Each structure stands twice: as structure tokens, then as C-alpha cells.
Amino acid sequence: MFAISGPVPWVPHPEVWVLVLGALAIGGYSAKVLQPKAIAAGYPAIHRRQKIWFGLGLTMMWLASDWPMHDIAEDYLYSVHMLQHLLLSMLIPACFVLATPRWVFELLVRPDTRLWRSFKKVSSPLIAGALFNLLTMFLHWTKIVQWSADSAALHFSFHLIIFSSGLLMWIPVIGPISEWRLPPLGQCLYLFLMSVVPTVPGGWLVFADDVVYRHYDTPFRLWGLDVLADQQLAGAIMKILGGWFIWITILVIFTRSLGDTDEVDRKARQDRHRKRNTLPEQQLASK
């Protein structure tokens, strides 16, 4: 066994740079050219939070797709591969969904068209959730991992697929079309179900006695990390880190729903108090 203790050799990825710069250009064009027209049509301006989410998503997309994470994930460590997939399938799509104003979505998918109705159906909780979980299971099949490692084009296609499924998965929770979102308790239940299926391949990797993915069983061990330890770390990332992210999101949604309920109750009490105070005045006025 040979341990690689130094840095991973730098490899340029111009396709990633083009992708990131293209996304940045689209964001700039939307803000500078399309936004004034949207505001004139009655839509709200892009919020500062949406700009932050866009910047965060773009930064993570660049880090996950470029050197050194891409090269380590593809050739050295499956645990880094798992972290990369967690970013591409869950965190980065969430950032871009949160960053998307409604008018941008309606510009891309015209309301009341066949495409609009098709997108609404595909992004429904049942279909979007099923697609996301089926892809999670499918892409961790040993043969699929090996085929992905052997073909750069297939590897890129899988990344595009998991990113797209992640976008769909978040639509019922934080999508720009508010009427497509589930109610808060429905969002919590939906996300809970999203956290269950990934524990299966995650637990399988943690407790496997033998090497699952032969592509990563190489004599050159980056940072001296043993292949089984790398495999177990990958399972822990999938099961624990991904689970924590979903459960933190559930906690935020549940806390906000309680806050909204308290606000509704407070306004209702104020209305009742106002009616009680105005009733005697109305009775005197009638006399």
C-alpha cells in the first residue's frame, strides 16, 4: 500500500469554469435586464437573501465540481465522492431553489401551459420524492459506480441527473410557486421520508465487511486512509451528515410554523379585544 500524503496534482477543468461563469452570467442578466421588467409587471424585486443563496449555491457548485474535490472523488476516496454527491443532490439544489424568484420560474415555464402542468405533476411530493430516492439507491449500485468511474460523460450525466432530481425534491418545500408547496406539517413529514431511504445504503457501507466498490480499492491511498475506513466514512457522511441537514430543516420549518400559529392567535385575540371595546360605543350610538 502506498500512501499519498501530499496534495493531489492539479488538473484543469475548463468545462466547470464555463458552467460556473455561465450560471453567473445568467444570474447577472436576470438581475440587470429581466428584473426591471418584472418589477414593472408587479413582481417584487430580488431579495437580498435570494442573492446570498445564489452566491452560496454557485460557490458550492464550483467547489464540488472542480479540482481538488472532483479529482479526489473520482480517483481516490469514496468518502469525498459521497460528500460531493450530498452537495450536488441536496445542498446546492436547495440554495438555487431558494434563490429563484417566482417571475424567473414563470419566465422559464409559462403558467397554464402544458409544460407548466407537466412540471407541476413531476414536482409533486409523491413523484419528486420517489424519483429522488430511487436515484439515490440506483446510483449506489456497485456496477453503476464502476460505469460512472470508467466514463467521464456518464459521470457528468449522473451529476446532472442527481442535481435535477434535487431541484424537484425541494419544490414542495421551498419552491418559488407557493401554491405548489405542502403545508408546514406536510413538509416535515415529506422531509422525514426523504431522510429514511438514504440510511439503507449508508448503513450498508458502514457495516460492510468487504470492499463494496473495487474502483476505490487501489494501492495508492490518499492521506493513508484505508479503503474500508474510507468506505465507512462515506456511509457515515450519507447517513449522518445528510440526515442532520434534513432534520435541521425540519426543525426550522416546525419552529416557524409554531411562530406563525402564535402570530395568528395574537391577531385573533387583538380582533376580539377590539370588537369588545367597540361594541358598547356602537350600542350607545344606536340609542
Query: In whole angstroms, what is the distance from residue 243 CA to residue 247 CA?
Result: 6
DSSP string of 83-150, one letter each residue: HHHHIIIIIHHHHHHHH--HHHHHHHS-TTSHHHHHHHHHTSHHHHHHHHHHHHHHTTSHHHHHHHHH
Site of grid cell 491511498: 221
Residuewise pLDDT in 10s, the chain (287 residues): 555 556 788 999 999 999 999 999 999 999 999 999 999 999 999 999 999 999 999 999 999 999 999 999 999 999 999 999 999 999 999 999 999 999 999 998 999 999 999 999 999 999 999 999 999 889 989 999 999 989 988 988 999 999 999 999 999 999 999 999 999 999 999 999 998 888 888 888 988 889 999 999 988 889 889 999 999 999 999 988 888 999 999 999 999 888 765 444 455 455 555 656 554 555 545 55
Q: Per DSSP, what are the bridge partners of residue 220?
A: 2
pLDDT of residue 263: 47
C-beta separation of 242 from 198 below 8 A: yes
Degrees, nearest 5: CA angle 73-154-239: 45
pLDDT of residue 164: 96
The structure's pTM equals: 0.88
Axis crossing angle, helix 152-174 with helix 142-150, rounded to the nearest 10? 120
